Every structure is written in structure tokens, then in C-alpha cells.
Structure 1
Amino acid sequence: MKNKEGWDGKMRMEPKAVITNPEALEDSDYSDPDAPPVEEIEADEGTAAGFDCSGLSHWRVDRLTVVQTYWQTKMLMQRLCLRQNQISRINFPPNVAASLTELDLYDNLISHIKGLEEFHNLTSLDLSFNKIKHIKNVSHLKKLTEIFFVQNKISRIEGLEGLTAIKNLELGANKIREIENLETLTALEELWLGKNKIVEMKNLDTLSNLRIISIQSNRLTKITGLSALPKLEELYLSHNAVTDLSGLESNETLRVLDFSNNQVSHLEHLSSLKNLEELWGSNNQLASFEEVERELKDKEKLQTVYFEGNPLQLNGPAVYRNKVRLALPNIQQIDASKCFLPICVWQYAYTLFRKWR
């Protein structure tokens, strides 16, 4: 469920904020003697409107009333991060809910989505690594542009109707068997479905703005359902059971294609992909350098190819890289290694290769 840069839809870095009085987390009646009185704190544009409440991760917080105590109720928060705690219920003070635009509850104990009724300004919601089985009670969050449900127990895509502003939907590492109920998400640009149990790509026709689809580690045997996606730029299909690359003929805007760890034996059906920049085909059954040249030589934008783990590489590891360079003289990266010699050198070698072959 990762893209070529190794992330799964969101950079999940631990916040580095430091809590100066952690005793507030243990005592709901705690009052910082050095804090100014509540009435002296004004919510102006320079403080309250931009306040970032990101220092409560990994503090074993199990109740959300502490948020109201710790930050003095008149402070308006826009971003709240409560990762790696023991929260089982979403229950915020009304003033916190009204001002939040980003809510991160990654890695808690939430099993039911409740308590979001007042979060009308929310644009980002992360409920990854919880115990959620059903997507409910989020369709009223009309301003959401991204929502994350990584590593839950979701078996069906549902409850997202009305999220017409959503651009990024992350459902990786669940128990989903079918792509469904996405028809109204017409603004969607990124769909992350890695590590589920999906057997077919379908019901995507209305998602004409999709740029990225990640459906790695599923149960696909062929590429389908992509013909109505004119803006598709990145497709991640690794760790499935795909046997050929048919089904991509209409996706002329595709820049990145990852079909590594499948069962593809021929580089066919790629003739229309003139904008291809990266081709990831490691650990398949590709065996012909002549086919590599025939199918990819016209891809002027192609810079990176991954063929390790194929018969191409396994049958002659000592000459593998040189043969790829000769077949594709403009290539800049083969597998994890850059090509350091100037392009003109390889173009000359390529000319000799064609002459002597």
C-alpha cells in the first residue's frame, strides 16, 4: 500500500512538541499557576486562529476532557493530534469541535465513529490504526478533503456519500472485498486501497479526477475498470496475481506504473503510454531484452525501470544492467542504481549494438 517513495498516503511522522506540564493529563482539575487567567487570553488571528494542539501524542490519554483543561477553554484550536493514546470515544468540548480543521486520532481504541456532529469545519480526519468496522457518521463533514482509515477492520466501503470535496481517501490494510459506493466522490484524486481482499477494479467510472490509484497486495488477476479515468497518472498494482498489462490502453496520461511482484511475462499493451516516466516491473516473468527495446524505446520520458527478479536479470546478472542500457539508452535509473555515464555514451553504444546485433 505504498507508492514509489515508500509512504502510504500520508507522512506519519511523530510530532516533536514537548509538554511542559504533563501533570495536566492526569488531573482534570489541574490549573497551571503560571498560566494567565482565562479571561486574559484573546482569540486573535495571530494566536488562537493558528493554534496547533499537537503535543498529546503517546501520553496514554483515555478521555478528551483534558483538552479543555490543558489549553484553557477560550483558545481556539485548528489542528489537534492525539496519536497513540487509549481513546475509545470521540467526545470534545463544543468550542474545540467548532474550530478544528484537522483531527488526528491515529492509533487509539476507537471502534465506533460517533461524536463528530459539530465538526463542520474539519478538512482532514485521520482514524487510522483503530478498531473501526463500519464507516458511519462522517457524511455531514462537507469540507473534508482527506480522510484516513488505514489498518482498521472495515469490510465495506460505505457512509461516504455527500463528501463531495474529498480528494484523498485512504482505506489501506482493511478487509474490503469490493470497490463500491464511491460514485458521488467526483472530486477524488487519490484512492489508496492497498492490502485488502479486492478481486476486481470496478465502479470507478464517475471518478474522472482520479490521479493516483494504489491497490497493492490484493487479489487482482487482471487490469480492468480504468478506461474512464483520463487524468490517471500513477497506478500501483504490486503484489497481486496480474498476468498481462492489457486494460491500460486508454490511460495515456499515466506517468508511473508499478506492477512488481505479479506474474507478467510480456511487456505488451503499453504502446499508448507515451508519457510514462517510471516502470516498476520487478519480480515478474519478463525474459526478453528484445521485447524491452521494442515496447519501451519510443517512451521518450521514461527515466526509471525496475526489472530485478525477472529472468532478464536472474539468467545473466553480470550483463543485465548493460543490456538494459543498450536497449534503452536514455534511461537514467535501473532498479535502485543511477546511470552515471552521459547519455551520449550509451547512445553510441546503442548504435553499435543495433549494427552488430
Structure 2
Amino acid sequence: MKNKEGWDGKLRMEPPKAVITNPEALEDSDYSDPEAPPVDEIDADEDLLEGEDVNVEDIDLVHCRISSIAALHLERFNKLQRLCLRQNQISRVDFPSNVAATLTELDLYDNLISHLKGLDEFQNLTSLDFSFNKLKHIKNISHLVKLTELFFVQNKISKIEGLEGLTVLRNLELGANRIREIENLETLSALEELWLGKNKITEMKNLDSLSNLRIISIQSNRLTSITGLSALPNLEEIYLSHNAITDLSGLESNTTLRILDFSNNQVTNLEHLSTLKNLEELWGSNNKLASFEEVERELKDKEKLETVYFEGNPLQLNGPAVYRNKVRLALPQVTQIDATYVRV
């Protein structure tokens, strides 16, 4: 039993006083001290790369229970360019200098890495994947100026930071983290794809400098409106599903838009789409759309429109037997309604 102070009734004498220098460790089961000496790693029982050609350019070791990079003896591979170590037990990035100098692609997806260290000598990397690790901060990568792809999916990152200098980066994936604000992207002038799904973002902002952006995904966040996209003339695809958006205003300037996904929101009508003449796919399932007349009025002039999703709306729920025929009559140019192709 516990009393109101939280005492569990088991302690019979007061323990000696101790000073805790890292109290955050008590609050976080995944806490690790970046300044602490590394935990001793157990060398592999066998050389996983024994017999491999020393001139090989690609090495792929997926799900091999690797915990020690040093045990792989990578220093013998002087021409290594692409290294995939997915689904292992690596907690520390520690590569030989010669390998760091030649690698262009490094994949450490699904490991146990909690700190971004050990990348100082990776000057030629173009692709880096730290998805599904235990990272809380983006650090020590701004010198990787040749990066074109960067993946941090499913970590514990709460702030977009440390990306200055990545001026040729084209694809940035930060989905499934703890980010609340879009920020610190000003220097990423070459960025074409930005993936921010499953975070805690309430507003799209600070995107004006990303004039080359073609794709933005911000699904499963906390948006209530569409904002911050008017300065993105090259935007072709936007994914907004699973938010709390009530109308589609805010897209009027995005005339190059081809794909619009606003499924699983609270949109009641299709107004504000008149300028989007290049729409090819419109995903609007599970909203509050109720008028076939409005569907025809707002979308019939979209000659390139091929795919529409309206299932889960009053349009479909109130008359499922006639729903598809009504959509076909309203939008004769469409070749796919929901998951089913239209029969000619």
C-alpha cells in the first residue's frame, strides 16, 4: 500500500542521501548519457564478412544481430560505397576512417542508436537513414553537405534543428516523432519532399523558402486549417489526412497540384478548388461531404481528374446503392471511384 507521499510501506529505515547528477534518467527509461564511456561490446562469434571480396562496393547485413560495428572489420573494404545494417542491435556509430571516406549511402534503420555521433569523417554521404532508433535530437550532421536523402522516421525527436548546410538535400523524412512546430528549414533550398506525418504539428508555417517543394505530407497531426502553402509554386502532392481540417481554403495559389488527400477530416464542402485545374487525384473519404451537385459544380471542369475517393461521406452513406452511378454522372472524366475502376 502507498500513502499520500508515495511511500510503499517496504522501507524501514531512511536510506543515505545521494546526489543525482542526471535526474532525467529517472523520468525516461530510454535515457543515456552522451558523455558516458561506451558500454563494452561483445565481438561477434564469427566474421560475418569472411571471404567477401575486398573490392566490393555494396554490403547488406540485415537482421544479423550485430551489436559491434568494429567486429565487422570493415577497414579491409577500401571501395565500399553502400552499407546497409538494418534491423540489428547497434547502439554506437563507429566506423574506420577509410570506410567513412568512401561511403555514399549508410542505412542504420531499426537499431538502438540514441545519439548522433561518429559521423565526422563521412564527407561523401548522399543518403543517410536513422529511422526506427532512439534519437531525441538532430545533431552533428550539418557538415554532410552532399546529402540528398535524410531519414529520421520513428524516433523521439521533438525539434527540427541541426540541418543548416544541407543545401542539396531533396528528401527529408521526419514522420512519427514528437515535433510540434515546422522550423529551421530556411537553408534547405533544394528540398523537394518533406514528410512530417504522425507528429504534433498544429500549423503549417515557415515553408516560404522551400520554393522547390513538390511533396508535403503532414498526415495524422493536429491541423485545423490549411495555411502556409501560398509561396510554394511547384507543389504537386499534399497529404493532409487524419487531421481536424474543416474547409479547403488555403490552396488557391497551388495551381500545379496533382494529388490532394484530405481524407479523415471534417470538411463539409468542396469550395476553394476552382484554381486547381491540374488535379488528377482527390482523396476525400470520411469527411462530411453531402452534395452531388457540389461535386459536379466544383470538379467537372477538372479535365485531368482520374481518381476520386468519397466513401465514408454522407454522399455514399445516405445512398450506397446509387452512390457510384451518381459520381459517374457528375464526373464522367473519372476512371476510378474509391478503390474500384469505372467500367467503360
User: Structures share a fold, TM > 0.5?
Assistant: yes
Equivalent residue for 2:284? 281
Q: 1:276 to 1:35 in 2, by over 3 A?
A: closer
Identity %: 76
Question: Aligned partners of 1:104 and 1:110: how far apart in 2?
Answer: 12
Question: What is the match of residue 326 of structure 2?
Answer: 323
Q: Per-residue displacement from partner, 1:232-278 (whole Å, max 9, x unpaired)?
A: 00000000000000000000000000000000000000000000000
The aligned residue for residue 65 of structure 2 is 60
Which residues in structure 2 correspond to 1:59-208 (within 5 Å)? 59-68=64-73, 73-208=76-211
Equivalent in the alignment of 1:259:
262
The letter for the 2-side match of 1:162 is: G
Q: Which amino acid aligns with 1:111?
A: S
Out of 45, 57, 61, the position equivalent to 1:26 is 45
Structure-2 change in CA distance of 1:142 and 1:205 (3 Å): same
> Where does structure 2 lack aligned partners over 5 or more consecutive residues?
1-42
Distance across 2 between alignment mates of 1:273 and 1:251: 7
Task: Determine if the alignment matches structure 1 residue 239 to structure 2 residue 242.
Answer: yes
Three-state SS of the structure 2 residue aligned to 1:88 is coil
Q: Provide the C-alpha distance between the structure 2 equivalents of 1:53 and 1:317, rounded to a whole number of angstroms.
A: 53
Q: Find the aligned partners of 1:315 and 1:265 in 2 and give their Cα distance.
A: 15
Q: Which has the higher helix share?
A: 1
Distance 1:112 1:247 in 2: 39
Q: For the Cα contact (< 8 Å) 2:110–2:133, is it kept in 1?
A: yes
Alignment coverage as a number of residue pairs: 302
> Matches of 1:297 and 1:59 in 2, distance apart?
54
Deviations 1:28-49 (A, max 9, x none): 6x995x678xxxx6x5xxxx4x
Amino acid at match of 1:59: C
State the shift of 1:68 in Å.
1.9
* 1:27 CA drift (Å): 3.8
Aligned mates of 1:59, 1:280 — CA distance in 2: 40
Q: What CA distance in whole angstroms lies between the structure 2 residues aligned with 1:26 and 1:284? A: 56
For the aligned residue pairs, the C-alpha RMSD in angstroms reads 1.5
Q: TM-score of the superposition, structure 2-length normalised? A: 0.85
What is the alpha-carbon distance in structure 2 between the residues aligned to residue 213 and residue 167 of structure 1?
12
Corresponding residue for 1:347? Answer: none
Q: Quote the Cα distance in structure 1 between the aligned partners of 2:126 and 2:308.
A: 37
Q: CA deviation at 1:207?
A: 0.2
Cα deviation code 1:194-252 (max 9, x no counterpart): 00000000000000000000000000000000000000000000000000000000000
Q: CA deviation at 1:95?
A: 1.1
Letter in 1 for 2:121: E
1:117-160 deviation per Cα after TM superposition (whole angstroms, max 9, x unaligned): 01100000000000000000000000000000000000000000
**Residue aligned with 1:155, SS:** coil
Distance 1:334 1:74, change over 3 A: closer
Q: Quick one: distance in 2 between partners of 1:146 and 1:165?
A: 9
Which ranges of structure 1 fall in alignment gaps of 5 or more residues? Answer: 1-23, 342-357
Q: Which structure exhibits the higher relative contact order, with contacts defined as CA atoms closer than 8 Å and separated by 6 or more residues?
A: 1
SS at match of 1:80: strand
Distance 1:254 1:87, change over 3 A: same
Residues 102 and 35 (structure 1 numbering): CA distance in 2 closer, same or farther, change over 3 Å? closer
Residue 222 in structure 1 maps to residue 225 in structure 2: yes
SS of alignment partner, residue 77 of structure 1:
coil
Shift of 1:75: 3.7
